[in-house]
Amino acid sequence: MTTDGVFIIDEEGPTNTVPVNSAELSSSVRALLQDVEDLKSDNASLRKENHCLREQLNTNRNGGDGGRGRSLRPSCDAEFARALKVFYHSMTSVRGQLQRLRRHRSSEESDLLGLRLFIDEQGRLMRDFSEQLEQSVSTLKHDVAAIVRRKRERSGIWS
């Protein structure tokens, strides 16, 4: 200790005194090394199990069978939702055609020829509207019937 109250520690090199018995120390080191090896082994088996579980999870998420007998096809609910989405999109187009029909007017100054042209145009718009509406409903019916048929096949119900 210096006069300022500072401790100075001088290391000259290895000392001859060992605080613990060297036999005890080597036994402790061997036990620690064995624990490390055991932990490494446990870690490797846990990694392997984790990898297998991740594969099973990914298989189930991706619609694979995963041992449950599931097919790669989307569910009936998803197919039905898709069919409804297509139907609603086509109905938006049909609604636009209906709005055009409602707004389509003949000019007030039309003569007989002008009225005939208007009636022909109106008839064409009505046919287009009718065809698109019928096609949209028919497509929806067909899609729903196919979904119901597949669902019955999957569940084994044929009635």
- Tell me, what's the pLDDT at 67? 46
> What are the pLDDT digits (tens) for 92-141?
888 888 888 888 887 777 788 888 888 898 899 899 989 999 999 999 99
> What are the pLDDT digits (tens) for 20-40?
567 777 777 787 788 788 888
Residue 104 in contact with residue 122, Cβ under 8 Å?
yes
The token pair that represents 46 in the structure block: 């846990």
- Tell me, what's the pLDDT at 19? 57
The token pair that represents 144 in the structure block: 């729903």
Residue 149 has pLDDT above 70, yes or no: yes
Please report, as a single letter, which amino acid is at residue 54.
R
> What are the pLDDT digits (tens) for 42-99?
888 788 888 777 888 787 777 654 444 455 567 888 888 888 888 888 888 888 888 8
Burial (CB < 10 A; 0-12, 13-18, 19+), residue 63, is: middle
The token pair that represents 104 in the structure block: 């389509």
- Tell me, what's the pLDDT at 66? 45
Answer whether 0.75 is exceeded by the pTM.
no
Residue 125 in contact with residue 105, Cβ under 8 Å?
no
Angle at 156 between CA 76 and CA 141, to 5 degrees: 40
The token pair that represents 90 in the structure block: 């086509």
CA-based radius of gyration for the chain = 41
Burial (CB < 10 A; 0-12, 13-18, 19+), residue 150, is: middle
The token pair that represents 1 in the structure block: 């200790």
